[in-house]
Amino acid sequence: MISQVIEENSFEALFQFALFASAGDGIVSDKEKETLIKAISSEELLNKIGEFQGSSVNDVAKRKENIIKLAVELNSKKDLSISKAEIEDSANKITLFSLHPLAIALALRVAGSDGLPESEKNLIVSQKEEWDCDESEVSDYIEFLKSN
């Protein structure tokens, strides 16, 4: 699907999870891609993820180049069919408990940008339950994402 190798707990892992969750209805809409690309370009979000990883400002700047490549690749895709195995694999790449609520919030934000079909909602809620995410943390991150 996406040609880059995605490392555990990386910026790319969170964005990939949100993308794959958005494909839960069989298609990633232009609105979902647009919302994800906007998130990808958010310095505040990249810095927030960097805080969890203990990354320096220089690390964040270096990673942004990879994120931009991912965004360009994403935007060029016409057919974004995602298998259940790919979705599970993307979730398994987010192993830091502190990143789980942010990953869920990002997925909800992106997948919900064009409405939230039941299939996408079920996929995200299922992962939220598996990760045992606190609802208030997810809500706080949704507000954070709306403001950036």
Backbone angles phi, psi at 113, to 5 degrees: -70, -20
DSSP string, 46-71: HHHHHHHHT--HHHHHHHHHHHHHHH
In this structure, the chain runs to a length of 148
Joined together, the tokens standing for residue 147 give: 């403001």
Provide, rounded to the nearest whole percent, the portion of the chain with pLDDT above 90. Answer: 34
What contacts 68, CB < 8 A, 6 or more positions away?
40, 41
Q: What is the pLDDT of residue 133?
A: 96
On the question of pLDDT at 67 being above 70, the answer is no
Burial tier of 65 (Cβ tally within 10 Å: 0-12, 13-18, 19+): exposed
What is the Cα–Cα distance from 116 to 75, expressed in whole angstroms? 20
The structure tokens 């060029």 sit at: 76
* Average pLDDT for 24-50: 81
Q: Give the number of other Cβ atoms within 10 Å of residue 92's Cβ.
A: 11
What is the Cα–Cα distance from 97 to 14, expressed in whole angstroms? 13
What is the Cα–Cα distance from 28 to 33, expressed in whole angstroms? 7
Q: pTM of the prediction?
A: 0.84
The structure tokens 């991150």 sit at: 141
Average pLDDT value for the chain:
82
